[in-house]
Structure 1
Amino acid sequence: MAELRIELLGGFRVTLGSRAVPDEAWRRRKPAALVKLLALAPGHRLQREQVMDALWPELDPGAAAANLRKALHHARRALGPDEGARLIASVGELLRLPCEGLRVDVDAFRTAVAGARRTGDLDEYTQAIDLYGEGLLPEDRYEDWVVARGEELRLELLAVLEELAEALRQYEQLREALAAGLGTEPSPETQRLYEEVRAKQASEPELSAELWERVGDLRVLSGDAGGAAKAYGSALEAASTVDAVGLHRKIAGAWLVQHDADRAEPHLEAAEELTADAAERGRLACLRANQAWERGELERAQRFAEDALEVAQSNGDPDDVAAAHEALAVVSHLRGDWRRGMELEIERLAADGDRSAQLARVFDIHHCIGQYHLYGDGLADDVEDYARRTLAIAQQAEAVRAQAFAWCLLGESLLLRAHWEEAAGCLERSCELHDSLGTPTAALPWQRLGELAVCRGTPDDADAFLRRASAIATVSPMAKHLWGRIHATAAFASLERGDPETAAGSVRAAAAAAARYGDCPSCSALLNPMAAEAFAGLGDRDGARAHAEAAAGVAGFFDSSAWRAMAQSAAASAAAADGEPVRAAEHFEAAAELYERAGQPYWAERSRTQAGNAQGTRAS
């Protein structure tokens, strides 16, 4: 009898003997959810009513029972026509997995935890940690029936780590292994978990000022600016011997990340009163620039940013220099002079060298700003020429990171204009240059290569590119600019494969990433039309409508033909979900015209095809 193996930690996978059940077999979410619920249940058995309450709480018993019968049928079929009924048995009102020949990784994790506690063996502790991986069902972590179970497992892991005096050494080993093997750091979640363990936060809530500050730093890394401000405030309160200047500065920075210039003000004032250190005053000048542009005072912001750069170059460290360059990039964009500002910046970088890893985030900001030019009316037409000019300046200056940026921008422009071969060459060259820098930077060219693969009709080829982009985004301080576009491209690939359910999963993953890291509306603009299309394909009217409204909001904020085209496309999908094919066709036609105006022929043609399909639905 073949062993049934079900993996839930790090993602859902099912293997029967030597045969892995393909992901395509689980395209429907509810049959997969049924198997997951049974695998998590004590004894791997549940009453039908328990399953219905978990998966269809909003339905009356008759409708929920009908849905369960369908889900059970499809789950059994996924496991195999000969084995399905045995593997998911129905005994009266009870559904159960087999008593023998079953292995579930959650059970293995709990067994490893128990063994490690019993023996104290380091290898067994390591085995338990390795089994936990990325946690329970990351693709479903916000489903109601997963949340409590996921938190329970996470607390088990935390308890294990707290028992280990050697946990700190293991973290450093993990860090070294990642650096050696992948050139990355542990994820922000892993770093935060490590900090909780090191501080014994669960059992010793009274942390020292230094540890509260470290907690704040880790929360910044994970995109939790509000939590960071609170942690830094606790550090100020915990002791009088801390670096009050640095903490006030960090609190101000956390508030500015949340666009709250007024709440940053008292902390900026306090820091300025407490310090005469030149480097620290340069850091404060950089934050004053941020505060000024939040208030719309662009001339003042420019002066502060220039002062910050001058002080950083003479008294600061590489991070200070990078932060000042980043501030200048933002100010030049807000003043409508980004292109000239970019050229001047390349010249400045040429004098100092642009290989510093700290400057990677500066060019990530430039990539974000570049989206306005690629998709903006009156700007997109000459992006290709501008990218070529920028590339020539960067090559003359021997500024490698600037060259990588220019190759990517050129590739993006060619991609949007459907010049596939040229776009591929430029994006690949950008990736090569980034690799030569030896740091995990610039997810954008990898993501665009994935998008290019889908546009060329080979969506399966996108997966490898998106995995590379995801690895970079995981450790990037610019994560909020990256995850939305990565998940949007993954959804796009699934839709082109005819798989709206997997596409919807990518949309949900994007929402989870946005909750954790924040979101950039311009960088993730493609997500809303892809999301609306995915939910329409599943008959989810509310989901399609919500993303159509979100797309309209982005188009209202960034007024251009391309963003309006995305809003029209999303509105078309919402109309299709509402059963209104005439209105759907009209919106798709409007999207096609706007994409034509924006100079994006692939998307124009795709929208026309969708309009024709909608009209065909009407005819039938």
Structure 2
Amino acid sequence: MKVSVQLLGRFSVRIDDREISAAAWKRDRAAAIVKFLAVAPQHRVHREQAMEAFWPDLDVELAGANLRKAIHFARRAVGAHDLLELDKQIVAISPDVAFETDVERFEAAAKVALKSRDPADCEKAAGLYGGVLLPDDRFLDWLDTPRNQLQRLYGDVLRAGRLWRLLIALDPTDEEAQCALMQAALDAGNRSEAIRQFYQLRERLHVELGVGPSKPAIELYERALALSGVEPVTPVERIRAALAWSLVHLQSGDFDKAAELARQTRSQALDAGLGREVGEAGAVLGLTAHVQGRWRDLFRREFTEWVESRSSFVSAVFDGHLCLAEFCLCDAKGHGAIAEAARELLAVAEEAGSAAGKGLACLILGEIARCADDLTEAEKLLTEAERLHVEANAVSGRVLVLERLAEIALARGQKWRAGRLIQRALADATQSWLSSHLLLRLQALAVRAAATEEEVADAILAGDRLLTPGACQPCSMALRTASAIALAEAGDLEQVDRRLNEAERIAGMWQGGPWAAALWEARGVQRQAQANRMRALAALTEAAARYEDLGRPADHARCLKRMAEL
């Protein structure tokens, strides 16, 4: 019998010439034990390793029984009893089976390629890397090490073969690869290709890491702009170079220089009619003010100045502040003072006749009402905010309004209505330059709005694909906690601890808002699913107290209800 297992890019098992259908793996643990052994050195592990990986909270007797069941169902799935062996100490793929994996084929080819450094060998090895190791099992701790090792090995092969485009496909933020292609384009006198490559790098760094290109990359870009004998440099090209430099100053801690350059760049973008660049320059201004502890003052001045100017770029300016406005205003303590400030801003916008200004003020007031559990008033304000954002053609703001309206639908138990609002918001979110932030927030709601186990699993998987290493951390928090709670409530505890550990790390970096409370609530649900009543009560008590302190009665009541169920 010949068994071939695919682990790179997806999971599949072939017995001789027959592929086992996905439906055959009715038990998750049956597939998991095959994956575990396929990845393990020599395809054998001590039985305690398997029990610790899959049932760490059970005693030895129960974990051993579960292991035997998993092996039984795995044998049934593949239709071959002699595939897996289990004795008192070792679980293994039978040595009598001709067993191979795509991982082993890739590793063997990569070893040859790195030794020879021959481009042909590198291309051959690269062709055997079918993708990330078991991508649908991202949050399994035992896969972290082999997954990272394989990805590094693939990157080493690409770098050895100077396969820059494949390296960029693996990691779009790899500046060595991007700069190598820019340099090659410059050497060939291809100015437009060098510029296109820089724009690609700039966009991916923004989406993946929230940063700008490095000094060497910007210098290559400026060399491309300075090439003689070609068309003149356009305003957008100069403005994007200036924005990149402002981010370099911000990242180096020269906040005053970053702010000065951002103001100059925004003025130039206004003159050139470049809405996105107006927003991006405003975002740099907001970030510099935030790290210096003066964002709220800046936002108040900016709001008043721009709505009174009656500029057509008001929505673009507000886009640059949206994430910080959500973080610093809508989820902060002291709702009374924030509401008063928002009403003042609303009055300024009404006097100026600014639909964008009135829409943003109504969004803030509607969010405050929602947090206070005044759903009728919140819906009224947010519905008006949506109308105003449509009138102002403010796409990003409208997406946030629809997100909050979906929150209200969920609070009322109307999952069907929340789902429709989410779909409307998703259609708009893709049109915004803030899409990478907005999609994370909407996917968190999609997890909560899912009506069946299958829909929940699909929503979590779609969310996991958005959680790239550089995904906006504040915007990812709701998705991380929602996914952890949904998995815990479904009894799928294997991934919960890892998700919450990541969320706790992020919450520790961004103090404020309801995140700490949400984490305590998720821990409580996790402990409840683990049948640890005392720790569940302690966690939910802490969550309830924090929600109460934040002035969020509905969240507070939900935690009390969970406690009563215990």
Q: TM-score, normalised by structure 1?
A: 0.60
Paired residues of 1:367 and 1:405 also in contact (CA < 8 A)? no
Paired residues of 1:447 and 1:466 also in contact (CA < 8 A)? yes
The code of the aligned residue for 1:288 comes to W
- C-alpha change, 1:282 and 1:269, in structure 2 (3 Å) is same
What is residue 510 of structure 1 aligned with on the other side? 463
Instruction: Write the distance in 2 (CA, Å) between the matches of 1:524 and 1:47.
Output: 32
Shift of 1:325: 2.9
Task: Report the 3-state secondary structure (helix = DSSP H, G, I; strand = E; otherwise coil) of the residue aligned with 1:226.
Answer: coil
Q: Paired residue for 2:292, among 331, 335, 339?
A: 335
Q: Deviations over 1:87-139 (max 9, x none)?
A: xxxx999xxxxxxxxxxxxxxxxxxxxxxxxxxxxxxxxxxxxxxxxxxxxxx
Q: Paired residue for 2:390, among 417, 421, 435?
A: 435
1:290 has 2:278 as partner: no
Q: Deviations over 1:123-167 (max 9, x none)?
A: xxxxxxxxxxxxxxxxxx9548xxxxxxxxxxxxxxxxxxxxxxx
Instruction: Write the distance in 1 (CA, Å) between the matches of 2:562 and 2:267.
Output: 54
- C-alpha change, 1:56 and 1:362, in structure 2 (3 Å) is farther
What is residue 556 of structure 1 aligned with on the other side? 508
Shifted more, 477-486 versus 280-289: the winner is 280-289
Q: Deviations over 1:50-93 (max 9, x none)?
A: 99965763599962477689x99xxxxxxxxxxxxxxxxxx999
Task: Report the 3-state secondary structure (helix = DSSP H, G, I; strand = E; otherwise coil) of the residue aligned with 1:523.
Answer: helix
Paired residues of 2:213 and 2:248 also in contact (CA < 8 A)? no
Paired residues of 2:255 and 2:288 also in contact (CA < 8 A)? yes
- C-alpha change, 1:590 and 1:330, in structure 2 (3 Å) is same
Shift of 1:488: 1.6
Shifted more, 580-589 versus 263-272: the winner is 263-272
Structure 1: gaps spanning 5 or more residues: 1-35, 73-90, 94-140, 145-204, 615-620
- What does 1:334-483 correspond to in 2, within 5 Å? 334-350=291-307, 353-355=310-312, 360=315, 362-374=317-329, 378=333, 380-438=335-393, 440-441=395-396, 442-483=398-439
- C-alpha change, 1:370 and 1:231, in structure 2 (3 Å) is same
- What does 1:182-197 correspond to in 2, within 5 Å? none
What is residue 518 of structure 2 aligned with on the other side? 566
Instruction: Write the distance in 2 (CA, Å) between the matches of 1:252 and 1:507.
Output: 29
Instruction: Write the distance in 2 (CA, Å) between the matches of 1:488 and 1:343.
Output: 30
Instruction: Write the distance in 1 (CA, Å) between the matches of 2:300 and 2:443.
Output: 32
Instruction: Write the distance in 1 (CA, Å) between the matches of 2:391 and 2:555.
Output: 33
Instruction: Write the distance in 2 (CA, Å) between the matches of 1:327 and 1:553.
Output: 24
Shift of 1:605: 0.8
Shift of 1:510: 0.9
Paired residues of 1:289 and 1:300 also in contact (CA < 8 A)? yes
Instruction: Write the distance in 1 (CA, Å) between the matches of 2:513 and 2:468.
Output: 29
1:593 has 2:564 as partner: no
Quote the sequence identity (%).
23
Shift of 1:463: 0.9
- What does 1:151-230 correspond to in 2, within 5 Å? 225-226=172-173, 230=177
Instruction: Write the distance in 1 (CA, Å) between the matches of 2:384 and 2:175.
Output: 38
- C-alpha change, 1:471 and 1:68, in structure 2 (3 Å) is farther
Q: Deviations over 1:310-343 (max 9, x none)?
A: 3333456444434333332333333333333223
Instruction: Write the distance in 2 (CA, Å) between the matches of 1:92 and 1:261.
Output: 52
Instruction: Write the distance in 2 (CA, Å) between the matches of 1:548 and 1:47.
Output: 30
- What does 1:317-336 correspond to in 2, within 5 Å? 317-336=274-293
Instruction: Write the distance in 2 (CA, Å) between the matches of 1:308 and 1:436.
Output: 27
Paired residues of 1:313 and 1:321 also in contact (CA < 8 A)? yes
Paired residues of 1:544 and 1:573 also in contact (CA < 8 A)? no
Task: Report the 3-state secondary structure (helix = DSSP H, G, I; strand = E; otherwise coil) of the residue aligned with 2:476.
Answer: coil
- C-alpha change, 1:553 and 1:418, in structure 2 (3 Å) is same
Paired residues of 1:501 and 1:534 also in contact (CA < 8 A)? no
- C-alpha change, 1:308 and 1:405, in structure 2 (3 Å) is same
Instruction: Write the distance in 1 (CA, Å) between the matches of 2:23 and 2:276.
Output: 58
Paired residues of 1:228 and 1:251 also in contact (CA < 8 A)? no
Paired residues of 1:488 and 1:530 also in contact (CA < 8 A)? yes
1:237 has 2:184 as partner: yes
Instruction: Write the distance in 2 (CA, Å) between the matches of 1:225 and 1:400.
Output: 38
Shift of 1:266: 1.8
Paired residues of 1:329 and 1:341 also in contact (CA < 8 A)? yes
Paired residues of 2:327 and 2:513 also in contact (CA < 8 A)? no
Shifted more, 590-599 versus 529-538: the winner is 529-538
Instruction: Write the distance in 1 (CA, Å) between the matches of 2:501 and 2:387.
Output: 39
The code of the aligned residue for 1:449 comes to L
Task: Report the 3-state secondary structure (helix = DSSP H, G, I; strand = E; otherwise coil) of the residue aligned with 2:253.
Answer: coil
Shift of 1:366: 2.2
Task: Report the 3-state secondary structure (helix = DSSP H, G, I; strand = E; otherwise coil) of the residue aligned with 2:173.
Answer: helix
Instruction: Write the distance in 2 (CA, Å) between the matches of 1:543 and 1:506.
Output: 15
Shift of 1:347: 4.3
Q: Deviations over 1:149-201 (max 9, x none)?
A: xxxxxxxxxxxxxxxxxxxxxxxxxxxxxxxxxxxxxxxxxxxxxxxxxxxxx
Shift of 1:299: 1.5
Q: Deviations over 1:340-398 (max 9, x none)?
A: 32233334434664545xx6554344221122224665564522222222222222222
Structure 2: gaps spanning 5 or more residues: 1-11, 37-49, 51-65, 82-133, 138-161, 227-231
Instruction: Write the distance in 2 (CA, Å) between the matches of 1:374 and 1:50.
Output: 47
Paired residues of 1:248 and 1:270 also in contact (CA < 8 A)? no
What is residue 69 of structure 2 aligned with on the other side? 63
- C-alpha change, 1:525 and 1:235, in structure 2 (3 Å) is same
The code of the aligned residue for 1:63 comes to K
- C-alpha change, 1:529 and 1:611, in structure 2 (3 Å) is farther
- C-alpha change, 1:395 and 1:447, in structure 2 (3 Å) is same
The code of the aligned residue for 1:226 comes to T
Instruction: Write the distance in 2 (CA, Å) between the matches of 1:322 and 1:47.
Output: 48
What is residue 57 of structure 2 aligned with on the other side? none
Q: TM-score, normalised by structure 2?
A: 0.65
Instruction: Write the distance in 2 (CA, Å) between the matches of 1:261 and 1:560.
Output: 22
Instruction: Write the distance in 2 (CA, Å) between the matches of 1:578 and 1:61.
Output: 19
Instruction: Write the distance in 2 (CA, Å) between the matches of 1:369 and 1:456.
Output: 28
- C-alpha change, 1:539 and 1:420, in structure 2 (3 Å) is same
- C-alpha change, 1:142 and 1:354, in structure 2 (3 Å) is farther
- C-alpha change, 1:228 and 1:451, in structure 2 (3 Å) is farther
1:577 has 2:513 as partner: no
